Amino acid sequence: MSHKKQNRSVPISSLVVGLKTGLIGAILTVLLSLIGMVEAFSQREIIHEIISMGHALLLLAGCFIAYFSAKRTLLEKKSLILVNSLIAGILSSGSLILLVVLGHFVNLRSVFINASPVLFNLLLLGQGIEKGSLLLILIGALIGLFSGTLYLFPARIRKAMVLPLSSVLLAGVLQDLLRPTLSAWGPLSKLSDWLFTANGLSLSGAITLALFIGIGSHFWSSKGKGIQERMKNLSLRKRRIITYSGFLILIFLLLLLPHLLGLFLSEVLTIVGLYILLGLGLNIVVGYAGLLDLGYVAFFAIGAYTTAILTSPELGFFHLSFWSALPIAILMGIVSGVLLGIPVLKMRGDYLAIATLGFGEIIRILVLSDFLRPWLGGAQGIGKIPKATIGSFEFARPQDIYYLILAGCLLVVFISLRLKDSRIGRAWMAMREDEDVAQAMGINLVSTKLLAFATGAGFSALSGAIFASKLGSVYPHSFNVMISINVVCLIIVGGMGSIPGVMVGAFALVGLPELLREFAEYRLLVYGAALVAMMLLKPEGLWPEAIRRRELHEESEEKTSRESTEETSV
Amino acid sequence: MAILIAKKVTKRFGGLVAVDRLDLEIQEKSIHSIIGPNGAGKTTFFNCVTGFYRPEEGEILFNHHSLVGLLPDQIVRLGISRTYQNIRLFPNLTAMENVLVGLHGHLKANFFGIVIGSSSTRKEEAEAAEEARKLLRFVGLSGKGDFLAKNLPYGDQRKLEIARALASKPKLLLLDEPTAGMNPKETQDMMDFIQRLRDELGITILLIEHQMRVVMGISETVTVLDYGEKIAEGPPVEIQKNPRVIEAYLGRGSVKEATAA
């Protein structure tokens, strides 16, 4: 992997770099405009009456391209770096002028329905063709120079400049999340009024936020190391107390969360939570054991349908409560995991992916079939699934179901963590790395593979059971192949084999699109772009699996604990 | 006493006979080398012993157990472990984890014990970690246990592979070209190390090697293969003079020259 990285960023000392990357930038900005993203995103403002999300998207693309062009140029030639990023910036924005002019003479709308006068007006910043073009060129030049100088600055200053800007951008994008959350709390509502307007951040709010983040990050970069050092020098027991209290605060926050966020955001959280459950299950199969399973949705469906059949009065076979149906649903998931596992034991890589993909479809088509309709409900699905209850409390609202999912997630994270650093987890990972050698090291491939399939399927069935009780009904079309693909994507984006990575991936790929309604149309496009970008820029994922330090870490831990016991005995 | 006995072992790939009616006896606690030109069937024989391939004919007995038809994981449990010609570590696991995987067959923790964190599981894990550290120390890798295997230098990767093989507590260790790609100093260290394995741990060593200095230096018995057939066997001094061996390695004309000289 490392040699690839070196290959990619061989710096070149000529203007060709600026022209080449600028051309890519030009294509990128025109593409973003023509597919309608700029127009769709311009409804939401980042800073009120100053910059909309659509314009921010174009700016970001331009900055990225210009920075990339600077990075590709030889570091020794500082002036050339600036020239190259300038060229890239101007080309990225100048192409938009060309688009507008072209759109003026030719009717582009017959092919690109988004190439409307509204879009052109947006691209020209509402200033008309002459003034607008001049402005665009100027902005292109500015972002080019900005990105070029950004690259030349040392990393510390770069961070201090990028962090406030990106946090303003993030606050603007997530305003629907932040504003109601802040204003729900008495003292914080003033802050929310100061930061936000009805649409976007206020100018004063944006400046305050940028300053606050900038000063905060500066403080951390100058003092942070000292604090971390002091943390390290604390005795083991004190460090443990700090970790545990941090953990307790986190749990407390998690318990409080649905009350802070309200109905809509709690609903988003429950969806993200269900995907985290699915992701953690598939993480065992794909991330640990390296078995690419593309039919993972099957176990989700089996969990949901088992719960539905056992609890729904609509079919009238059984009238179990959610809690008595849950273990049976999980068991059914585990059994079907083993049943799927047996025929595919000898398959590897692509073949396994195709076989499991087929299995996922078989389950969906089975529940859809008219033949099984009396038992599985056919296309109309099964309704009237009762909610989970404890005593007289009913998990009905999203805020309540959240707790159900949180409990499931905590359980699954705990099991995953325990398994990971054990004989079984190591056997899975050895199998992922080299199946033949793993077998020659005494690992029974049959039982180890089946255990991975069964564990993953069990987690997935748990997620399915909660899903069924959350929705109150199950339909075959809820269990299409896209769910499997989504779960694989979130694991890849988050980081293969990494538990925090699954959570980050679920929030990024499932949570964000729910929050940004504008994304809905471009969801698949963004997925694809995110996957390609991840593979090129950060193949290990957003939050890669940490290397567990066993040898020295544990020895030093033993030493310090021995020392501390000696201290106490003295 | 022979620890491994191969009787008329034959392995074919389509029309090609890779190992041809091979008879071999390996004495307990000996260092036994197999040499031969490229393609002579040495590694194929290793793969037959360790269960990667199933020989079409013949019998392989290890301490009177038949190995033919057993799976690799069953064979390693009987006490045969190996290293590979092109190093095959688990690249994205740490050195320590690589050795711990080698200990797999000797650990007993089950799913539920692991999840609830039972005291026997925890005790076993601590003992396994201690054992792994001891093995890393034994091969001279202490302090490098937390490196990813792929980030270790070449020589250390060879050592780690042996440490991993030793973790399964073998009685017979198969080394496939352990000194490939090593300089003279590293080669000498490896030779000393292999002798230590036999002298200190009492492990029988079966070794494929191309460097004649290593073969002649440490082995008690040498078997020479050519086109899957055994063409000579004996102590190193005899093998060096054997005309058939010289012929196999250097061609027919050179035998005449050698006898003339």
In this predicted structure, what is the pLDDT of residue A552? 59
With beta carbons under 8 A apart, name residues in chain B contacting A424.
109, 111, 114
In this predicted structure, what is the pLDDT of residue A488? 93
- Selected for mutation to probe chain B from A3, A417, A433, A449 (highest B CB count within 10 Å) is A433
Spatial separation of the C-alpha atoms in residues A278 and A269, rounded to whole Å: 14
CA–CA distances in Å: residue A82 to residues A141, A143, A232, A243: 10, 11, 42, 46
**How near does any CA of chain B get to the CA of A319, in Å?**
31
- Closest to A278 measured CA to CA, from A167, A405, A147: A405
Spatial separation of the C-alpha atoms in residues A365 and A371, rounded to whole Å: 11
What is the pTM assigned to this prediction? 0.87
CB B136 within 8 A of CB B144: yes
Cross-chain Cβ contact B104/A434 below 8 Å: no
- What are the residues whose beta carbons fall under 8 Å from the beta carbon of A19, sequence distance 6 or more? A87, A91
**How near does any CA of chain A get to the CA of B102, in Å?**
5
- Closest to A204 measured CA to CA, from A394, A49, A36, A373: A49
CB-based burial of residue A70 (10 Å sphere; 0-12 exposed, 13-18 middle, 19+ buried)? buried
In this predicted structure, what is the pLDDT of residue A10? 59
Cross-chain Cβ contact B146/A426 below 8 Å: no
Cross-chain Cβ contact B114/A422 below 8 Å: yes
In this predicted structure, what is the pLDDT of residue A1? 39
With beta carbons under 8 A apart, name residues in chain B contacting A418.
114-115, 117
Query: CATH 3.40.50.300 region(s) of chain B?
Result: 1-79+170-261
Give residue for tokens 């029974």.
A444
The length of chain B, given as a count of residues? 261
In this predicted structure, what is the pLDDT of residue A448? 95
With beta carbons under 8 A apart, name residues in chain B contacting A547.
94, 146, 148
Q: DSSP letter for A127, please.
A: S
In this predicted structure, what is the pLDDT of residue A558? 44
pLDDT digits (tens, 9 = 90+) for B244-254: 888 887 776 66
**How near does any CA of chain B get to the CA of A62, in Å?**
37
CB contacts < 8 A, A to B, total 115
- What are the residues whose beta carbons fall under 8 Å from the beta carbon of A479, sequence distance 6 or more? A297, A298, A300, A301, A304, A363, A364, A367
With beta carbons under 8 A apart, name residues in chain B contacting A2.
none
CB A523 within 8 A of CB A513: yes
Cross-chain Cβ contact A553/B146 below 8 Å: yes
Give residue for tokens 């969906």.
A364
Spatial separation of the C-alpha atoms in residues A317 and B133, rounded to whole Å: 58
Cross-chain Cβ contact A433/B92 below 8 Å: yes
CB A306 within 8 A of CB A332: yes
DSSP-derived secondary structure for A2-58 = HHHHHHHT--B-SHHHHHHHHHHHHHHHHHHHHTTHHHHHTTSEEETTTEEHHHHHH
With beta carbons under 8 A apart, name residues in chain A contacting B91.
433
3-state secondary structure chain B: CEEEEEEEEEEEECCEEEEEEEEEEEECCCEEEEECCCCCCHHHHHHHHCCCCCCCEEEEEECCEECCCCCHHHHHHHCEEECCCCCCCCCCCEHHHHHHHHCHHHCCCCHHHHHHCCHHHHHHHHHHHHHHHHHHHHCCCCCCCCCEHHHCCHHHHHHHHHHHHHHCCCCEEEEECCCCCCCHHHHHHHHHHHHHHHHHHCCEEEEECCCHHHHHHHCCEEEEEECCEEEEEECHHHHHHCHHHHHHHHCHHHHHHHHHC
Nearest to B148 among A419, A443, A547 (CB): A547
* B101 at interface of A, judged by CB pairs closer than 8 A: yes
Nearest to B111 among A434, A443, A451 (CB): A451
Give residue for tokens 């949570």.
A511
Q: Is the dihedral of CA A182, A183, A188, A191 positive or negative?
A: positive
* B93 at interface of A, judged by CB pairs closer than 8 A: yes
Q: Could you tell me which chain A residue has the CA closest to the CA of B136?
A: A551
Cross-chain Cβ contact A552/B94 below 8 Å: no
Give me the torsion for CA of A485, A491, A497, A501, rounded to 10°: -170
Between strands A393-394 and B65-66, the pairing is: unpaired
In this predicted structure, what is the pLDDT of residue A9? 53
Cross-chain Cβ contact B117/A553 below 8 Å: no
With beta carbons under 8 A apart, name residues in chain B contacting A443.
73, 101, 104
Give residue for tokens 């008495």.
A186
**How near does any CA of chain B get to the CA of A445, in Å?**
8
pLDDT digits (tens, 9 = 90+) for A82-124: 898 999 999 999 999 999 999 888 888 888 888 888 888 888 8
Residue A50 CA, chain-centre distance (Å), reads: 29
- Closest to A501 measured CA to CA, from A471, A458, A534, A544: A544
Cross-chain Cβ contact A442/B77 below 8 Å: yes
In this predicted structure, what is the pLDDT of residue A63? 93
Which residue stretches of chain B have pLDDT < 50? none
CB A25 within 8 A of CB A115: no
Nearest to B109 among A423, A438, A553 (CB): A423
Spatial separation of the C-alpha atoms in residues A82 and A80, rounded to whole Å: 5
Cross-chain Cβ contact B97/A548 below 8 Å: yes
Count Cα neighbours of B171 within 13 Å in the Cβ-side half-sphere.
12
Which residue stretches of chain A have pLDDT < 70? 1-13, 548-570
Spatial separation of the C-alpha atoms in residues A50 and A205, rounded to whole Å: 13
In this predicted structure, what is the pLDDT of residue A125? 86
Q: Could you tell me which chain A residue has the CA closest to the CA of B47?
A: A440
Task: Report the CATH superfamily, name and number, of domain B1-79+170-261.
Answer: P-loop containing nucleotide triphosphate hydrolases (3.40.50.300)
* B120 at interface of A, judged by CB pairs closer than 8 A: no
Cross-chain Cβ contact B73/A436 below 8 Å: no
**How near does any CA of chain A get to the CA of B28, in Å?**
22
In this predicted structure, what is the pLDDT of residue A551? 67
- What are the residues whose beta carbons fall under 8 Å from the beta carbon of A369, sequence distance 6 or more? A376, A378
In this predicted structure, what is the pLDDT of residue B35? 92
3-state secondary structure A330-380: HHHHHHHHHHHHCCCCCCCHHHHHHHHHHHHHHHHHHHHCCCCHHHHCHHH
Q: Could you tell me which chain A residue has the CA closest to the CA of B94?
A: A547
Phi, psi of A51 (to 5 degrees): -140, 135
**How near does any CA of chain B get to the CA of A419, in Å?**
6
Kindly state the percentage of chain B with pLDDT values over 70: 96
In this predicted structure, what is the pLDDT of residue B253? 64
Q: How far apart are the first and last CA of chain B?
A: 40
**Helix A297-311 × helix A349-368 angle, to 10°:** 30
In this predicted structure, what is the pLDDT of residue B252? 66
* B189 at interface of A, judged by CB pairs closer than 8 A: no
Q: Could you tell me which chain A residue has the CA closest to the CA of B88?
A: A437
Spatial separation of the C-alpha atoms in residues B160 and B244, rounded to whole Å: 37
Cross-chain Cβ contact A418/B117 below 8 Å: yes
With beta carbons under 8 A apart, name residues in chain B contacting A554.
129
Query: Chain B, 148-177: which have a CB under 8 Å from a chain A CB?
Result: 148, 164, 168
Cross-chain Cβ contact A443/B101 below 8 Å: yes
At CB < 8 Å, which residues of chain A contact B? 414-415, 418-419, 421-424, 426-427, 429-430, 433-434, 436-445, 451, 547-555
CB-based burial of residue A569 (10 Å sphere; 0-12 exposed, 13-18 middle, 19+ buried)? exposed
- Selected for mutation to probe chain A from B70, B111, B112, B120 (highest A CB count within 10 Å) is B111
CB-based burial of residue B193 (10 Å sphere; 0-12 exposed, 13-18 middle, 19+ buried)? middle
Residue A51 CA, chain-centre distance (Å), reads: 26
pLDDT digits (tens, 9 = 90+) for B192-235: 999 999 999 999 999 998 888 888 889 999 999 998 999 999 99
